[in-house]
């Protein structure tokens, strides 16, 4: 979860580090903590620390964490030589470690040697059949090969045991969305909302899925979840504001023919539209005309 303060902190550190202002280790730690994917920068700045013996030894035991981080980043950047060197260093230090074994499997993956990687993972799983990360790697491997249905199968099997693992629910939801299996995705997002009811982004994603599914009931629910996103973000989520407008207009179109028994709160959409206009005025005033045209098209403009 990356909050607003953390995001600004990250971007500040990023510019500082990119301009040679130091603080590379802090930046790398923050990247690790927030679990963001900045592989190119991690590779560059991580190596600059690792290649400097003085800096490296000042890290103490964190040195090995950095090696791991850089190894993964290097794989992500296809700098396989660097990754291999890092893993070699780690292996020398921790000869029997499962974690290093996992890195080796990932290196095989990055090379595209799927069968060998699979073999490595299965042998690791034999030692510890409940290693969550390796199960996840197998899912990722299936996905990387393009066998999305296999990935879903693995993931479902995994979730039968580790059913409280929300990262995997999220992955499953994203896979389902990519396959346009929205009903299944909606289920996954419900699961995510249950496990972390205060994360607005899950509400938002759920609302998106409901809106895509369509139908009067789903649209009304989608509007409710966009509303909850607005409430949880204090009205600072543009996508949710747009969502409210879209839902209202779609509901209006469907409900036109029918009797209007269920009272929709008409104010919410006009408020959302005004909020949007205001936000555009502040941040992108040159695109304001586009917005007003779009809102007019939706007939929600006040």
Nearer to other proteins, 228 or 257 (CB): 228
Residue that is written with structure tokens 């690791």 in the block: 124
Nearer to other proteins, 20 or 257 (CB): 20
Q: Could you tell me which residues come within 8 angstroms of residue 91 by beta carbon, excluding any fewer than 6 positions away?
A: 97, 100, 104
Residue pair 276/295 in contact (Cβ under 8 Å)? The answer is yes
Q: Is residue 157 within the footprint of other proteins (CB under 8 A)?
A: no
Does residue 179 touch other proteins according to CB under 8 A? no
In the complex with other proteins, the residue whose CB is nearer, 26 or 167, is 167
- Dihedral sign (CA 154, 119, 178, 132): positive
Between 238 and 257, CB nearer to other proteins: 238
Quick check: helix, strand or coil at residue 146?
coil
Tell me the closest approach of the beta carbon of residue 119 to other proteins, in angstroms. Answer: 18
CA distances from 241 to 37, 43, 205, 206, 248 (A): 28, 38, 13, 15, 11
Question: Quick check: helix, strand or coil at residue 131?
Answer: coil
> Which one of the spans 22-30, 93-101, 136-144, 283-291 is the region binding other proteins (CB under 8 A)?
136-144
- Interaction residues for other proteins, span 249-288 (CB under 8 A): 265, 267-268, 271-272, 274-275, 278
Q: Which of residues 81-110 bind other proteins (CB under 8 A)?
A: 81-82, 85-86, 89, 106, 109-110
Closest residue by Cα to residue 200 from 159, 164, 243, 247? 243
* CB of residue 32 to other proteins, shortest distance in Å: 10
Token pair in block for residue 36: 């963001």
Q: Which residue bears the tokens 């996954």?
A: 188
Nearest approach in angstroms of CB 261 to other proteins is 15
Q: Is 120 helix (H, G, I), strand (E, B) or coil?
A: helix
**Among residues 163, 179, 284, 290, the one that binds other proteins under rule CB under 8 A:** 163
Q: What count of residues does the chain have?
A: 302
Is residue 139 part of the contact set for other proteins (CB under 8 A)?
A: yes
Q: Which of 3, 19, 57, 180 binds other proteins (CB under 8 A)?
A: 3
Residues 181-220 that bind other proteins (CB under 8 A): 187, 190-191, 193-195, 197-201
64 lies in the binding site for other proteins (CB under 8 A): no
């Amino acid at each position: 979860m990356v909050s607003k303060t953390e995001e600004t902190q990250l971007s500040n550190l990023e510019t500082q580090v990119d301009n040679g202002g130091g603080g590379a280790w802090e930046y790398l730690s923050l990247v690790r903590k927030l679990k963001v994917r900045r592989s190119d920068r991690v590779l560059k700045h991580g190596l600059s620390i690792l290649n400097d013996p003085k800096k490296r030894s000042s890290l103490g035991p964190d040195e090995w964490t950095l090696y791991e981080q850089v190894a993964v980043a290097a794989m992500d950047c296809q700098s396989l030589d660097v990754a291999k060197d890092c893993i070699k260093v780690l292996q020398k230090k921790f000869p029997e470690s499962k974690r290093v074994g996992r890195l080796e499997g990932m290196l095989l993956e990055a090379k595209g040697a799927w069968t060998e990687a699979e073999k490595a993972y299965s042998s690791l799983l034999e030692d510890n059949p409940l290693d969550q990360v390796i199960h996840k790697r197998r899912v990722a491997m299936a996905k990387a090969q393009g066998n999305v249905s296999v990935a879903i199968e693995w993931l479902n099997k995994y979730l039968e045991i580790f059913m409280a693992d929300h990262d995997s629910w999220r992955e499953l939801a994203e896979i389902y969305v990519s396959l346009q299996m929205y009903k299944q995705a909606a289920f996954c997002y419900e699961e995510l909302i249950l496990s972390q009811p205060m994360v607005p982004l899950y509400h938002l994603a759920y609302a998106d899925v409901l809106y895509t599914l369509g139908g009067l009931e789903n649209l009304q629910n989608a509007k409710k979840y966009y509303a909850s996103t607005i409430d949880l973000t204090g009205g600072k989520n543009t996508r949710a504001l747009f969502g409210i407008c879209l839902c209202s207009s779609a509901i209006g179109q469907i409900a036109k023919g029918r009797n209007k028994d269920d009272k929709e709160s008409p104010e919410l959409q006009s408020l959302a539209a005004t909020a949007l206009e205001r936000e555009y005025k502040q941040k992108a005033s040159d695109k304001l005309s586009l917005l007003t045209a779009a809102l007019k098209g939706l007939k929600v403009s006040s």
